Structure 1
Amino acid sequence: MSKLTGLTGALLALATPALAAETDWPAFGHDHSNRNASDLTQIDRSNVGQLAPAWIFQTGVTGYFQAQPVMVEGVMYLSTTQNHVAALDAKTGKVLWTYLHKPRTDKIFGPPSNRGVAVSDGLVYEATMDGRIVALDAKTGKLAWDKEAVRPEEGETETASGLADTLGGKPVQGSSRLGFKMPPLVAEGLVIVGVTGAGYGLHVEDPTGGLDGGAVVGIEGGYGRRGWLAAYDAKTGEERWRWYVTPSEGWEGKFSEATPDGEALHRDIAAEKAAAPQNRDAWRVGGGSLWMTPAYDPTLGLIYLGTGNPAPQNFGASRPGDNLYTMCLVALDVHTGKLRWYYQQVPHDEWGYDVAAPPFLLDGPNGTKAVASASKTGWIYVHDRATGALLTRSEPLLAQKNLFQPPSAEGTVVAPGPLGAVSWPPTAYDGHLAYVQVRHGATTYTVKSVPAGPGRPEIRFTETGTAKGEPSFSTLTAVDLNGGGRIAWSVRAGSRLSGGTLATAGGLVFSGEEDGHLDAHDSATGKLLWRFQCGAGISGPAMTYAIDGRQYVAVAAGGASYTQAAGFGTGDALVVFALPQ
């Protein structure tokens, strides 16, 4: 890994307000509440226009730089694509140590991105795309322990002969490959992390590495994997418990005709029940990836996480039933992994509406202790933390079209599509408003088939593609979750938003764009107050911290699928901003 540190020469001769104390950013989302918000006030509405780079660190590894840094006691810890880790002096960017990750296999799912590390009791924890959890000494970067949790290619199924040619000549990958993307949660002496890649089944590989352009399809058959979340001893790496997303009993659920909040699902329940006997083992390959870090309530001893789509994605014929516990917000006992409650946002999903964004804790209506989940379907759901009861559902974050209408041979246009409304990037919550990046757009879901051939039956699948003529844009939207879920304000972005949001007590909301801009908005009105071109697309969430009376804002700029598809390059820079001294 190489580095580049530097101080901007464009310093203005203005005094900067002092801070009372140093303030860390000790975990993903700032703390176990996952609120992605800070009480720091030095950078505020009146002076954010003076914000300029204080130092820059370049990893030397480009592409899908999605990590949110962690800062503890003056040291910043940062993971990169390829799962390398660096410890930096948080004032200057000076490299203190680096860890070079050596994967044991190159058969991973998707691009080799990583979304952050966890730091606790002198150790730095990272979950890797090649299925390992590593613990590093926080002072030296030396390996403390290395646990192989899963082999990504384990159980992989070979593709049927000739299938690639019948699907446009694009390479077809067999069974999903399991690995880790999320920053671990460290709680009660446990390192808790869940796998991605479980819900895709047999699919056409997308050369852009994402879902844009409709290259990924779900194909009928037993090609998926079973998603899981596990807890490991923080000192030794030994597994303490594991929870599987798809249960061996009850996976079919109630064959729900509507979502729990009353939206019709347009399912052919009779056909599903008729198909159930020959698909009773579908749970064994049922999917349910876990994309982002759980929130944790130490008083209740519960962790809250969102689960991903069932397998095969977007095609439900071979998995009749509700496909529990995919597409859910779930609460688990932190000590045992036992399920306490669940809320399935989309039973029998056929649209890719993963509950991907990290849940966050809040004081809900009338002071209720609550947990919120921003969804791909276009709502923010607020639940009682102890029981899971739905307390409120926000106004729609975007214009929904044909929501929950099933894929068809003619092609069904549905808004939103599999990228959301709200995907994995975190939502910031400042105690009053939730600030969320919303993608507006539609997708066409088309059921297709490959005729039977020598040695194989007919293959059916759902293909996703861009819905021509439908609008496509992003908004930064503020939602009052204590005011009935009303939208307080919404502003259209210059390019597609990504990476998530950061709120500060200085009255600001920071939001990244895929064209490389980091923006600062007035948190009360949405007015754009400042923006900076970071040189590559923002695809990770910003964070903030303070040292020696100076507040900093840091964000990774490594490019994103949209900018790469448009012909722009990737980057490798962590850009750290501050007011002039």
Structure 2
Amino acid sequence: MRNPVCLFAVVIAIFGAGNLLPASAWEHWGGDRGGSRFSPLKQITPDNVGNLVRAWEFSTGDLDRRAPEVMKRTKFQATPLLVEDSLIFCSPFNEVIALDPGSGAQKWRYDPKILTNQRPANRYNCRGVAYWVDGKAPETAACRARIFMGTNDARVIALDARTGIPCADFGANGEVRLDIGMSLEWPGEFQITSAPVIAGDTVIVGSAIADNRRAEAPPGTVRAFDPRTGQSRWSFDPLLHDGVTAGHANVWAPMSVDEARGLVFLPTSSPSPDFWGGKRPGNNDYANSVVALRAETGERVWSYQTVHHDVWDYDLPAQPTLARIDTGEGQRDVVIQPTKQGFVFVLDRDTGKPIWPVEERSVPQGGAEGEQLSPTQPFPTHVPALLPQRISADDVFGFIPFWDGEACRAKVAAARNDGLYTPPSTQGSVVYPMTGGGVNWGGAAFDPVNQILYANTTRAIHIVKLLPRATVADGFNPPPGHDFGRQLGTPFAMTRAVALSPLGLLCNKPPWGEMVAVDLKAGKILWRSRVGTTEDRAPLGIAFRFGTPLGSGVAITAGGLVFSGAMDAYLRAFDARSGQELWQGRLPVPGVANPMTYLWKGEQYVAIGAGGHSESGTTIGDSVVAFRLARPGETPSLMSRTIDRPGGRFSAGAAAAAVVVLLTAMLAWRWRRNRKLRKQPHAQ
């Protein structure tokens, strides 16, 4: 925005997405209704980012108030909103908290008193809240401005955005309890984890439902309510049930809204259960799809399916990003949908048709008994895949090739591995990218001025194995490190495990987490940059610059920066043009959440939830941390540092220490193996 033309371009681009926000605002989970995660703020730049200091840290108090075994079942993925002169976010236990944006001091707090014995299938989690202003209410009326939240125990709650007091006219004393439509196997089988969205006078929520438990699972209905009264407006089931035995394709990821068109865009999941679909023949239309609905009525306008008859858990995990792009043949309003496979689908916002050609290509066949695979899958041709989609036994990683490298090679070689879309099998099949790989719930970000898409990606291998029902006893326990799904109502249960070496490292070669910048018009990847190190996971704090798995997303600014968290305890800033890592801000624990930025009393802040991620094995915390530029007399502390070289931090002393640690681990492994062999009975 160095001249009026660029400023005009920003205004037009943001308006094209159906959003026009003041420069200080971050009023929606994705920055705006279309999830661009772009801020026009430019006070913090590549030249001064090294002067960032920690402005404040706020602790929710959960570490002190909750039992350790409960905290081990949490994921802190919330992104605060800047609304009503407050930063407002939710804790994993659905406590809604409002902070002073400048000091981090608590202004109000609401506790819905979530029970902590329900063991939610997707952990205790709340990614965010939604904000709405009732234009028909007087300025001073209570609940004129409202905060909406979905909960882990299937409630939709409305609060006064200024006070945190429940809005008594919404449902019963400020809440609506969802009618799930069938009995749950346990209270945590069904929950709401992502923020609601609001289109006009309609508040819309999705759901998160336990994977791989049963074929006849709770339906994945998307529900809409009147934001004043809580009365039901409409509902939409993303799965066609004709001839299908499957409970759900749901919408657990964040949705997007185009206010001008009156459309809401759903990223739908795979049908239940994930890895065997013999009782749900056909493509399972509207599952694994971007679905555009009339926000007022729930009528389907169009849908586009990215995976046919999914048996890989390749659902759509990311918020659809709404943007206006230059296609080379003029400006188009589009929906950008990244996927777990690393694809980027770019669809016309009015019709759902691809902007650039998508080819139906033949994919591996020969599924498990009773399976009816699709012979083809859609492959975008213009925008390249953001990460490799095939791995062989020769591509594995190991510090010591004849030991941990050989163990990884054996794991991959023993499984069926025909590339992308290898069917699950009783032999065990390689799923690469893994089911949590590619672009995940953090979504992508789009710079409307420079027309560049940014996304965090994860590279890891899953080994998925089908278990014939007769071999699975009632008390069956999977091997350590394996997820287990009974897939009741089908002939197969399943196990799923990330391919790890004996040292606990990913079996695929680094990078394990990478930020990617893409020129959509040219269909060209501009740069890649590794995000995260092993510092907070490896012995002695050894910081191998391998990148870490990245489920969370990024925030980009007109100042030329991209901000991201990782699985280590740092918030990072990257040069948006080159991808060079410029700065790190130390966090109390990993910030596995989407960062955001805002302007408060003339100063730009960058904030991130830092509470860790129990499923990924990080340390657990309960904080939100904000940074700003140093004021006169302040100097950046050791918790904030500039990165002088792109190679990262790894000294000769650390390298020597790493070798010692690895050799020690190797000897310990061999000792445990030999001890186990000595205890085994001799063959007769």
TM bucket, shorter chain: 0.7 to 0.9
Correspondent of 1:490 among 525, 528, 536: 528
Is the alpha carbon distance of 1:458 and 1:53 closer, same or farther for their aligned partners in structure 2, counting shifts above 3 Å?
closer
Return the offset for 1:406.
Answer: 0.5
Q: Matched residue of 2:75: which SS?
A: coil
Distance 2:89 2:473 in 1: 51
Distance 1:569 1:104 in 2: 23
Q: Which residue of 2 aligns with 1:388?
A: 352
1:128 paired to 2:178: no
Q: Which residue of 1 aligns with 2:3?
A: none
Is the alpha carbon distance of 1:104 and 1:239 closer, same or farther for their aligned partners in structure 2, counting shifts above 3 Å?
farther
- 8 Å contact from structure 2 (residues 426, 468) kept in 1: no
Correspondent of 2:339 among 371, 375, 382: 375
Q: Which residue of 1 aligns with 2:300?
A: 339
Q: Deviations over 1:446-501 (max 9, x none)?
A: 221131799999941232222364336110111111222x2111112223324210
Q: Which amino acid aligns with 2:97?
A: A
Distance 2:579 2:629 in 1: 21
Q: Which residue of 2 aligns with 1:466?
A: 498
- What pairs up with 1:155-554 in 2 under 5 angstroms? 155-157=183-185, 177-197=189-209, 200-202=211-213, 222-249=215-242, 280-283=243-246, 285=247, 287-364=248-325, 365=327, 366-392=330-356, 393=380, 394-401=383-390, 402-431=419-448, 432-451=451-470, 459-467=491-499, 469-471=507-509, 473-484=512-523, 486-493=524-531, 494=533, 495-554=548-607
Pairwise CA RMSD: 2.3
Return the offset for 1:190.
Answer: 1.1
- What pairs up with 1:75-114 in 2 under 5 angstroms? 75-103=86-114, 106-107=117-118, 108-114=120-126
Is the alpha carbon distance of 1:104 and 1:58 closer, same or farther for their aligned partners in structure 2, counting shifts above 3 Å?
closer
- 8 Å contact from structure 1 (residues 61, 81) kept in 2: no
Return the offset for 1:153.
Answer: 10
Q: Which residue of 2 aligns with 1:573?
A: 623
Q: Which residue of 2 aligns with 1:7?
A: none
Q: Deviations over 1:225-260 (max 9, x none)?
A: 2211111111111110111111244xxxxxxxxxxx
Distance 1:153 1:398 in 2: 40
Q: Deviations over 1:494-528 (max 9, x none)?
A: 23324210000010000110111111000001000
Return the offset for 1:150.
Answer: 2.6
Q: Which residue of 2 aligns with 1:258?
A: none
Compare the two structures and name the one with the higher helix fraction: 2
Q: Matched residue of 2:104: which SS?
A: coil
Q: Which residue of 2 aligns with 1:216?
A: none
Q: Matched residue of 1:435: which SS?
A: strand
Distance 1:91 1:453 in 2: 56
Q: Which amino acid aligns with 1:293?
A: P
1:148 paired to 2:176: yes
Q: Matched residue of 2:34: which SS?
A: coil
Q: Deviations over 1:161-180 (max 9, x none)?
A: xxxxxxxxxxxxx7982211
Return the offset for 1:563.
Answer: 5.1
Is the alpha carbon distance of 1:457 and 1:189 closer, same or farther for their aligned partners in structure 2, counting shifts above 3 Å?
closer
Q: Matched residue of 1:438: which SS?
A: strand
Q: Matched residue of 1:451: which SS?
A: helix
Q: Relative to structure 2, which stretch is displaced further, 468-477 or 298-307?
A: 468-477
Q: Which amino acid aligns with 2:130?
A: A
Distance 1:302 1:152 in 2: 25
Distance 2:35 2:530 in 1: 25
Return the offset for 1:326.
Answer: 1.2
- 8 Å contact from structure 2 (residues 457, 549) kept in 1: no
Return the offset for 1:325.
Answer: 1.6
- 8 Å contact from structure 1 (residues 409, 446) kept in 2: yes
Q: Which amino acid aligns with 1:117?
A: V
Greater C-alpha Rg: 2
How many residues get paired?
490
List runs of 5+ in structure 2 lacking aligned partners.
Answer: 1-21, 64-73, 134-144, 357-379, 391-418, 475-487, 501-506, 534-547, 632-684
- 8 Å contact from structure 2 (residues 457, 551) kept in 1: no
Distance 1:542 1:457 in 2: 41
Q: Which amino acid aligns with 1:68?
A: T
Compare the two structures and name the one with the higher strand fraction: 1
Return the offset for 1:349.
Answer: 0.6
- 8 Å contact from structure 1 (residues 22, 548) kept in 2: no
- 8 Å contact from structure 1 (residues 332, 341) kept in 2: yes
- 8 Å contact from structure 1 (residues 519, 531) kept in 2: yes
Q: Which residue of 2 aligns with 1:210?
A: none
TM-score (norm. length: structure 1): 0.80
- 8 Å contact from structure 2 (residues 197, 203) kept in 1: yes
List runs of 5+ in structure 1 lacking aligned partners.
Answer: 1-20, 158-173, 203-220, 250-279
Q: Matched residue of 1:143: which SS?
A: coil
Is the alpha carbon distance of 1:457 and 1:376 closer, same or farther for their aligned partners in structure 2, counting shifts above 3 Å?
closer
Distance 2:336 2:240 in 1: 24
- 8 Å contact from structure 2 (residues 216, 489) kept in 1: no
Distance 2:446 2:304 in 1: 21
